[in-house]
Structure 1
Amino acid sequence: MSDNSDIYDDPRALQAYLEDEANPFHHDPSIEDVNTPLWREVFWPSEYFELLCSATYRGRGVPHGNGEPVLVIPGFLANDVMMLPLRRWLKRIGYRTYSANIYWNTDCPDKTATSLAHKARAIHRKTGHKVRLVGHSLGGMLAKSVLYRAPDVIGGVITLGSPFRDHVRAHPAVTGVWQYLINGQGELVGRNLTTSCSSGYCMCDFVRHMLQPESQPVPQFAIYSRVDGVVDWESCIEEDPAANSEIEGATHIGLIYNKRALSALAQRLSQITAEKAAETEKGNAPV
């Protein structure tokens, strides 16, 4: 056993030691604090009001769907209510939308992804069409995990400001809230969480899908902003530059309300349908 007697002479060293003893996953290399411009997030309402006054909101100037199912997944600390304007807009432009049945997205991500995979299969059985997944922030990471769990029923994945690359790089305020929930202090909203939950030390499928992604023959697109105030934009892009859509000036929250982000989303959904239609001509696969 190592001699730790010196730490008792230094209160800060003692505190750090006790933190590590209480939580062996305290120093997690898969989560990195980044000083993103969090202050910019106060401007997201202006993006929403700009959307309401635009032709895009009325479904003009964007590609329309033809009843294809879209499962919309909210981000961390968010819920289906926050995604309601997006779902209504997708319905307005011709898609059949489904909520994720998430009241507060603070549950164990692995359990949430499992539940969403079951929901995606149920939607596929009901509609006969492969499901498009649209996820914001953590919701996009969940969408990626759902794809790995149920690739046969997923038609495509579109992420909005989702840090799915290698490890999470986010503002300390965000990672701090997650740690607060992990420590059991957020019992009202954080459920089924363990000390290692979503850390690089967790052995669950969700973490494995993020840290060791597998190639899937399914269209995957990323919509992001370089001035995202919550997460580092470089964590939010696909390796293929052609699969990425940058929304200049958008906030993290605003990516689900920004008229340019929604226009990009409509374009990517249309692209998924076009690619699936080409496959159908070759092998008569359902779209």
Structure 2
Amino acid sequence: MPTTRRRLPRALLLTEPPRAGIDLAALLATWPLLATARRGDGHPVLVLPGLLTGDPSTVLLRGVLRALGHHVSGWSLGTNRGPTGRVVRDLRARLDRLHRESGRRVSLVGWSLGGLYAQELARARPGSVRRLVTLGTPVLRHPPWVRTLSQLVDQGTRLAPGTGGFARPWAEAGSLRVPATSVLTRSDGIVDWTACRYPPGRHRENVEVRGSHLGLAHNPAVLWLLADRLGAPEGSWRPFSPPPALRPFFPRRR
């Protein structure tokens, strides 16, 4: 069902950087616990960054997952300047290559706009994708979603001189047929959290964490969730449940 676009409180946007610093401090405090998270089985994991960022923004996330035994790759396409034709072609080819060379399905992790890329890749290549996890991504597909994201992309051109000509977000035909987890935070100062929720469905879940949008890639709750979701056996599904020590990072609302 379409929803109306809400105006995000300005204070949330202005406090995003310091709140992201708090998320990093929380990671350092919980590092010993993260070392005990579920181990990976070596299947390929492709991590896609947000708008106007690149692989450096996900170095810590990928490093943690790699330390836990996951075979992790960055997107290797420089700064994310929107879903241009080259980006779409290269991501499809990258997914196909990881699947072919490993002989295993690929898990996709996308942060913000990168999550939309991951979602559309999963729609296009369901036979190549094992699982999808999005972080602070507006996963709903309806006209307000397209308008809102297009406006976000347009705003990005003003933030980064010389990056005009952004393509609109691309959409693949067909339904999303892979297990999917959407991670959201109600204190997101960049993306409206209400657009980050999947409708109820089989093998769909929305998990709320405490923290900022900019800190999602190093939020300890997110890293634990990623280790748990990516480390689950292929073909299995159980709703995510945090360990007691991390439950304060996961608000419980009904």
Per-residue deviation, residues 97-150 of structure 1 (Å, max 9, x unmatched): 011013111143454233111101111111111000000000000001111222
The normalised TM-score by structure 2 is 0.79
8 Å contact 1:156–1:220 — kept in the other structure? yes
Residue 34 in 1 paired to residue 10 in 2?
A: no
Counterpart position of 1:235: 195
Counterpart position of 1:285: none
Residue 220 in 1 paired to residue 180 in 2?
A: yes
8 Å contact 1:38–1:230 — kept in the other structure? yes
Residue 129 in 1 paired to residue 99 in 2?
A: no
Structure 1 residue 272, shift from structure 2 partner: 5.9
Aligned residue for 2:54, secondary structure, equals coil
8 Å contact 2:116–2:139 — kept in the other structure? yes
Counterpart position of 1:257: 218
Distance between the aligned counterparts of 2:161 and 2:4, measured in 1?
20
Aligned residue for 2:42, secondary structure, equals coil
Structure 1 residues 147 and 171, CA gap change in structure 2 (3 angstroms)? closer
Counterpart position of 2:168: 198
Structure 1 residue 173, shift from structure 2 partner: 9.3
Identity of aligned residues (%): 28
Distance between the aligned counterparts of 1:56 and 1:186, measured in 2?
42
Please tell me the root mean square deviation across aligned C-alpha atoms, in Å.
3.0
The AA in structure 2 aligned to 1:48 is: L
Counterpart position of 1:82: 57
Structure 2, unaligned runs of 5 or more: 238-254
Counterpart position of 2:29: 53
Counterpart position of 2:158: 180
The normalised TM-score by structure 1 is 0.70
For the pair shown, which has the larger CA radius of gyration, 1 or 2? Answer: 1
Residue 268 in 1 paired to residue 229 in 2?
A: yes
Distance between the aligned counterparts of 2:193 and 2:47, measured in 1?
21
In the alignment of these two chains, the number of paired residues is 228
Structure 1 residues 227 and 165, CA gap change in structure 2 (3 angstroms)? same
- The residue correspondences of 1:64-83 to structure 2 (distance < 5 A) are 64-83=39-58
8 Å contact 1:35–1:172 — kept in the other structure? no
Distance between the aligned counterparts of 1:79 and 1:246, measured in 2?
25
8 Å contact 2:23–2:219 — kept in the other structure? yes
- The residue correspondences of 1:88-99 to structure 2 (distance < 5 A) are 88-99=63-74
